[in-house]
Structure 1
Amino acid sequence: MEPNWLSPAERRAWRAFVFAQRQLVAHLNRGLQDSGLSGPDYDILVVLSALDEDRMTARELGAELDWEKSRLSHQLRRMQQDGLISRELNPDDARSTMVRLLPAGRAAIEAAAPRHAADVRRNFIELFTPEELDTIATLNERILGHLAAPGGRLAEGEVS
């Protein structure tokens, strides 16, 4: 069976998508470093700061971020050492750990978020019309739906 290589147009679209995403994330992470946070720090703080109780189980946090347990554990250990979060036993289930946003973590996300949002706006949002942003969202939601479906297939009723 002969390989089914990408056509030049397909390769251009794929490579542009992959490289743009990588470069944008790297740029945004460099901007966060100026505020003393890494990209993964910011990702965790965003999730925790959006909660009413500022805490959730480590398992739920890992699922929310789609991170492996070892990656999450390593990142949480570093953030705990930096005083941004705490890890404590779950009072409802002693087998699980609760991750809690500490005041220093809230202060860090509140200090970093305005500049980060401006950076996202300048390097992504402002490059597109509202209609293009809607198209980008629709196309990426299609990818996410495809990947979430059993066997990586489009869910019934989705258009390819």
Structure 2
Amino acid sequence: MSAERSDVEYPTPWLTAEEMRAWRGYMDGNQRLMSVLNRDLQEMHGLSLADYRILVLLSESEDGSLRMSGLADGILSSRSRLTHQVRRMEAEGMVARDTCVEDGRGVRAVLTPEGRRRLAEAAPTHVAGVRANLINLLTKSQLKMLAEVFERVEKAVVDR
């Protein structure tokens, strides 16, 4: 919609050209970057970027397992979507589901040896893609700024 419309008052001002450039640059760049990273993992390792993220989070946990609710929060996904994805990963032997020992009610996703193997094989591909398509394109000060910007965005959104 055009910022020149004068017949209607909007409570929030339209984005300036500079703001729109930043917003669209982020949206388009992020979508393309995620698409490239996902395609590389799919083609070379049969993993989606979402699968990879789950394997990473499980591998970084103390015992290789996380409650499904915590895992959903960690990958920024709905619990129902995560359940579907974990079932598929379970069928491929990458994860197992188990009852939570703490309360006997919750369900934990557990990283299997096959999941560790697949993660170890895919990690170099993922890191190379992140490096080639983001890290190596920016200066150290731009990387620092990028981290600061998205830490700020994360905090603002989480605090809502």
TM more than 0.5: yes
2:114 maps to 1:107: no
| 1:2 match | 9
CA distances 1:12-61 after superposition (whole Å, capped 9, x unpaired): 11100110000000000000012111111101000011123111111111
Q: 1:105-144: per-residue Cα shift (whole Å, max 9, x none)?
A: 0000000001110110111000011111001111111111
Aligned counterpart, 1:91: 101
Matches for 1:73-88 after TM superposition, within 5 Å: 73-88=83-98
Partner of 1:141: 151
Report the alpha carbon displacement of residue 91 of structure 1 after superposing the two structures with TM. 2.0
**Root mean square deviation of aligned Cα:** 1.1
The code of the aligned residue for 1:92 comes to E
1:21 and 2:26 equivalent? no
Q: Percent sequence identity over matched residues?
A: 37
Normalized against structure 2, the TM-score is what? 0.89
Deviation at 1:149, TM superposition (A): 2.0
1:63 is displaced (CA, Å) by 1.6
Tell me which of 44, 68, 75 is aligned to 1:58. Answer: 68
Which residue does the alignment assign to 2:129? 119
Q: Which residue of 7, 16, 20 corresponds with 1:11?
A: 20
- d(CA) in 2 for partners of 1:133, 1:61: 27
Q: Which residue of 1 aligns with 2:5?
A: none
Aligned residue pairs: how many? Answer: 150
Q: Which runs of 5+ in 1 are unaligned?
A: 151-160
